[in-house]
Structure formats: C-alpha cells, structure tokens
Amino acid sequence: MEGISLQPEEIELIRLIDLEGLEQEEAAIKLGVSRKTAWRDLHEARRKIADALVNGKGIEMAGCAKAAEWRCPKCPRKDADLP
C-alpha cells in the first residue's frame, strides 16, 4: 500500500493546534521555531493527511531529524545514561 510519511514536528503541530486549540504562534513558541516555519509545517502536514484520506494511503511517522543533532526535546540523548 502506498503511504505518506509525517515528521514528528508535523504531528506535534497538528496536536497542539488542531487538538489542543493553540494558536500557531503559541505552538511555534512551544516548539522553538518561527511562526513561518510552524505555518509551513502545519500546512504540509494537513496536505499529506488530506492526500492519505482522499486517496486511501497509509500514514506513518518518520524518524526525528532533530534527534540526530540532539536538538529534539522529545527524543532522549544517546549519552543521557553516561555519568
């Protein structure tokens, strides 16, 4: 089955804005990104979700791109267990 891939930050924006009712600016502040970046990511996520729903595609969550750079607040650091 063909599918689409959502990035963790896209899913988090959908959660904050569409489920929790935050304004885009508030969500951007929580995620540490500009309002422009939040707007772009939100609209890309909504486009992907609409594509999946309308065209019967699966939805999967991609890996976190920021985790590799240790910039993701939700992903544990690899060295977190080190003394």
Residues 38, 8: Cα–Cα separation, whole Å? 13
Q: Is 56 left (phi over 0), alpha (psi -120 to 50) or beta?
A: left
Go through the domains of the chain in sequence order and give each one's CATH number: 3-69 (1.10.10.10)
Element (DSSP H or E) covering residue 30: helix 24-31
pLDDT of residue 61: 84
- 35-80 tens-digit pLDDT: 999 999 999 999 999 999 999 999 988 876 565 555 565 565 444 4
Short-list 57, 43, 54, 40, CA closest to 5? 57
Return the H-helix or E-strand segment holding 26: helix 24-31
In angstroms, the Cα distances linking 11 to 19, 25, 48 are: 11, 16, 11
